[in-house]
Structure 1
């Protein structure tokens, strides 16, 4: 069971990926917890990572420090949404 607010965070992360990376709504809707991101999506290069994180900060009202990010954070959609939930829901 997801915590209160989790579905909204998941959809916000999905929308950020769609908007920043320019992927279609249909493609973004297919992202599941185990969907690989960094290294698997050609749109998600190192420059796009900064855009994704900045947009997540803006839309979720969170602060992301460089120390918060490691190689696992953007490995999968589930890892990224889990990170966003930890930041947003404390």
Structure 2
């Protein structure tokens, strides 16, 4: 078609480690009547006791909570579509 594809993003070991950490931490997620509840600082603390962090703790917290907020927002949107 003559369209040049953009270069793929450079692989980031740090980003990969953070996403893997989120996946592990989110396994402890609790639900109430089928609605996912946000992860707590206790969930993050439990992870930090077992694993070495790829970044400083305050950055780790911000990233994990942001990923969780995105998950919660997407889950809420899906629930709204089902109820409409």
Please say whether Structure 1 and Structure 2 have the same fold, judged by a TM-score greater than 0.5: no
Q: Higher helix share goes to which structure?
A: 2
TM, length-normalised to structure 1? 0.36
Bigger Rg over Cα: 2
Bigger relative contact order, structure 1 or 2 (CA pairs below 8 A, ≥6 apart): 1
